[in-house]
Amino acid sequence: MQRITTLDEFIITRQKSYSSATGELTGLLRDIGLAAKIVNREVNKAGLINILGKFDQENSSGEQVAKLDIYANDRLIEFLKTSGECAGLASEELEDIIPFPARNNKYGKYVVLVDPLDGSSNIDVNVSVGTIFGIYRRLGNEDSPVDLRDFLQKGTELVAAGYVIYGTSTILVYSTGDGVNGFTLDPTIGEFCLSHRDIKIPAEGPYYSVNQGYYLKFDLEMRRYIDYCSDLNLRLRYIGTMVADIHRILFQGGIFLYPNTRKYPKGKLRLLYECNPLSYIVEQAGGQAVNTNLERILEMEPEELHQRTSVLMGSPKMIEEMKDFVLKYSPNIHSEIE
Ligand code: AHG
């Protein structure tokens, strides 16, 4: 029988292969893994204890949040604040950044952006939810606390990103820019174990994932492309937890679409907390991620913490085909190109 490799062992082995690595990023990833285990425990208990239900408050984007969102948010803050490597955190659940205090007169080298519990509307009905994270090297030096600029970096500057899906199994998928690996939580030993080495997204696949209920609210080119997917008899799968929809596409191939709608003219999903980290993973696995203007998500310039964007990501061949539809049917993009 092959010996298992735990997440901690894997991270440390990877670190040793970089002579310049100081171990700080390694420590940060391990802390995120630890926080994920604690969140996983509570997510699993959600049906058993009186933790379900809504807090009487709204998150910074004006949506009602479930109690577990707050729980996950608090655990991540707790673990990252004491890690020493993290200089501050920004969360989809919080209006502003949280600068962390110095340890031994030094502030951490990295900042972390998180969506603590993606897909929270699915909790009450026992459907998969997730945690998404992105890690950047801070811009200023370690003698001063972080400020907003450290968080408003383009996705191309990510040094690591990943997600955890709390599904039939709990799986953590991450990349530090040299491929993507997945780890399944073995509840009997409480460890994330390497289960999916060097994940590659299929060039095309049988799935398209979009909220078809908004069909009439999409622009013409998106409607044409969705019609084309349907004509091809592609299978429509939409969970409403981005992590879960992307997880399927990462392994089985397909395309995920959350275009702009009349209600969300710039798109609904958050650039910094959802789209950048997941685009990074998809690109590292060989896929592509763009917005409806066909700009690469990772190259979008962030202007504010809770910026939203349209997003189209998945298998490379399918994204290329989708781009052809956009170029053919979108009058705006045509005139910009001509
Ligand atoms: P939230 O975490 O607030 O529940 O948002 C979930 C996000 C994303 O995960 C998902 O793909 C999308 O919102 C679903 O939005 P619609 O319900 O508008 O399709």
pLDDT of amino acid 330: 85
Q: How confident is the model at residue 305 (pLDDT cuts 50, 70, 90)?
A: very high
What is the per-residue pLDDT across 92-138, written as a single tens digit (0 to 9) for each? 999 999 999 998 888 999 999 999 999 988 987 889 999 999 999 99
What's the rounded mean pLDDT across residues 286-294? Answer: 97
Pocket perturbation via mutation, ligand 1, pick of 115, 121, 132 by most ligand atoms within 8 A of CB? 121
Q: What is the C-alpha to C-alpha distance for residues 153 and 90, in angstroms, rounded to an integer?
A: 12
Give helix then strand counts, H and E, for the chain. 9, 17
Question: What is the residue whose two structure tokens read 């670190």?
Answer: 15
Look at 112 and 47; give whichever has higher pLDDT. 112
Three-point CA angle 53, 69, 112, nearest 5°: 175
The pLDDT, as a whole number, for residue 120 is: 87
Q: Which domains does the chain show, CATH number per domain? A: 7-196 (3.30.540.10), 207-337 (3.40.190.80)
Quick one: average pLDDT of 304-321? 98
Q: Could you tell which of 268, 275, 308, 313 is best to mutate to test the pocket of ligand 1, judged by most ligand atoms within 8 Å of the CB?
A: 268
The residue type at 312? L
Two tokens at 99? 């600068």
pLDDT of residue 142: 84
Other Cβ atoms less than 10 A from the Cβ of 124: the count is 14
- How far apart are alpha carbons 32 and 320 in whole angstroms? 34
Q: Classify residue 236 by its DSSP letter.
A: E
* pLDDT above 50: residue 337: no
Kindly report the average pLDDT of the chain as a whole number: 90
pTM: 0.93
Distance CA 231, CA 312 (A): 19
* pLDDT of 240 above 80: yes
pLDDT of 143-202, one tens digit each?
A: 899 999 999 999 999 999 999 999 999 999 999 999 999 999 999 999 999 999 999 999
Can you tell me the mean pLDDT for 212-225? Answer: 96
For 59-103, write each residue's pLDDT tens digit. Answer: 565 554 458 889 999 999 999 998 889 999 999 999 999 999 998
Nearest CA to ligand 1 atom 11: 242
Burial environment of residue 40 by CB neighbours within 10 A (0 to 12, 13 to 18, 19 or more): buried
**246, 287 contact by CB (below 8 A):** no
Taking alpha carbons only, the member of 312, 299, 311 closest to residue 153 is 299
Q: Which of 312, 326, 309 is nearest to 228 (CA)?
A: 326
State if residue 119 touches ligand 1 by the CB under 6 angstroms criterion: yes
Confidence tier at 338 by pLDDT (50, 70, 90):
very low
**Token output for 338:** 């001509």
pLDDT for 81 equals 93
Q: Are 202 and 252 in contact (CB under 8 A)?
A: yes
**Helices (H), ranges, the chain:** 7-16, 24-45, 67-81, 148-151, 220-231, 242-252, 276-284, 316-329, 331-337
